[in-house]
Amino acid sequence: MEDKYVHSIEQHTIQQIPLNARYGKARDLFTLWFGGNLMLLTFVTGSVSVTIFHQSFVSAILSIILGTLIGGIFAALHAAQGPHLGVPQMIQTKGQFGAYGALPILGIVVIMYVGFLASNATLAGQAMNLLIPSFSQSSGILFTCVIAVIGTIVGYRLIHLFTKITFVISGLAFLAAYVWVFFIQGLPSDFFARNSFSATGFLATLSIAALWQIAYAPYVSDATRHLPKETGAKAAFWATYWGCGLGTIIPMCLGVTIGLVTPGGDVIAGMIAYVPEMGSAFILILVISISAINSMNLYCGVLTLISFIQTFIPSFMPLAKGRIAISFVLIAIALWIGIKASSNFLPIFINFIFLLIYVLIPWTAVNLVDYYWVRHGEYDVDSFFHQDGGIYGKFNLMAVSAYIFGVIVQVPFIATDLYTGPIAKALDGADVSWVVGLILTSIFYLMGIKIFGIKDHSYKAKN
């Protein structure tokens, strides 16, 4: 059965992966997430710490590393769930929130996937146009979207191959870039004196780095569910943690470096100008590598959208053909957004990142508390696919309440261009809402379970 699965288009979508169809080792997760992060968007996002938040080199590097190491814990804890349950992360959310209670979160995550698809494609289009002026931004965006669709059509096996290739090629490109920038080209004499430390900028950069990891929380079980059950939670955790972590820190720190030597903050053009001997080739490699992670974005987005639709139509359990059809719908939306957003990309992306903080944090808190402290990983998987939620009901009022509480409690700590809360103003614009949301949502949900129990807040649909 495994040979047939390996050499053909993947048939599974949201179904539980049978034990005899599982394959791979935990180390495959390391190359998946390491290679998937070695891309242009990670490089550009790292530069934000110095181009927008005006941090010095040392403070920017420290905040990126610290944020990545903290945020990676939560993503890896989600990854550890996959080998045990064998289902996509977001359909498992029905076990915490109930069949209908999970719907708003599923919808938000679909939007997140489309947002990252559009962001990656937009950046690729801009870079391609910069490298080859005759190649329009729209053509570059279309090129990236086509590659993403191909990966999604074939399935998880091809996505793994894409990321293994980027792990090697992009890894060598980053190694060469570091050597060239630091030891061959060299840094300006005043490099380490440029910009300065500020608590606001440090916390903002730390938040972006942490969210970069937490934003993978809806993805990671979609990968680990294919692993044999005996892989275990520990192996899945560490492979995901270090794959995501190192794969993020390396490109973000190079983005910091180039951001400090680039007038005007355009690090793509800055890389080409500062290292003319290899800058163009480096950017081109990162543009191509965007396709690898965009395949994963699209693949997981399709699974989440299927999970959403299946709530209303229990018989909707499509195989490959359904995945392919829905992938074209999502990529068309991302393509349209990418073309429309290309003229004002970076501000839109930063606001998008912070929006994710507020809506993903309460979900990840409820999910992890429920999985590790309340149910200890024991779920009735069949109930995830029932319209009435099976034993979990249509609504878990405690989980939904905790989620709403988690969003509201962050409001005074929010610091964005659109709104800055009173506590954020008192902290000179520093945004620590995600820390508050994680801690208080976890406490709220855990205390609610302790007081009311598990069964009392699950409302079963009456037949």
> In this predicted model, what pLDDT tens digit does every residue of 135-158 receive, in sequence order?
888 888 888 888 889 988 888 888
**pLDDT band, very low/low/confident/very high, at 35 (cuts 50, 70, 90):** very high
Give the residue-averaged pLDDT of 110-114.
88
Mean pLDDT, the chain, as a whole number? 88
205-264 pLDDT, tens digit each: 998 899 899 989 988 888 899 899 988 889 999 999 999 999 999 999 999 999 999 987
pLDDT of residue 95: 93
Residue 456 reports pLDDT greater than 60:
no
Q: Give me the long-range contacts of 275-284 (CB less than 8 A, separation at least 24).
A: 275/177, 275/180, 275/181, 275/185, 277/180, 278/176, 278/177, 278/180, 280/131, 281/173, 282/173, 282/176, 282/177, 283/40, 283/127, 283/130, 283/131, 284/127, 284/131
pLDDT of residue 172: 96
Question: Please, what is the angle between helix 233-260 and helix 26-37, to 10°?
Answer: 20
- The number of CA neighbours under 13 Å toward the Cβ of 150 is 12
Q: Which residues contact 457 (CB under 8 A, 6 or more apart)?
A: 396, 397, 398, 399, 448
Q: What is the pTM of this model?
A: 0.88
Select the more confidently predicted residue: 31 or 429.
Answer: 31
Distance of alpha carbon 333 from alpha carbon 313, whole angstroms: 23
174-222 pLDDT, tens digit each: 999 999 999 999 999 999 999 999 888 898 899 889 989 998 998 888 8
Burial class (CB in 10 A: 0-12, 13-18, 19+), 108: middle
Contact of 209 with 67, CB cutoff 8 Å: yes
Give the residue-averaged pLDDT of 445-461.
68
43-97 pLDDT, tens digit each: 999 999 999 899 999 999 999 999 999 999 999 999 999 999 999 999 999 999 9
SS3 for 288?
helix
Residue 343 reports pLDDT greater than 70:
no
The whole-angstrom distance between residue 284's C-alpha and the CA centroid of its chain comes to 23
Contact of 125 with 338, CB cutoff 8 Å: yes
Percent of the chain residues past pLDDT 90, beyond the cut: 51
* C-alpha closest to that of 215 among 369, 357, 91: 357
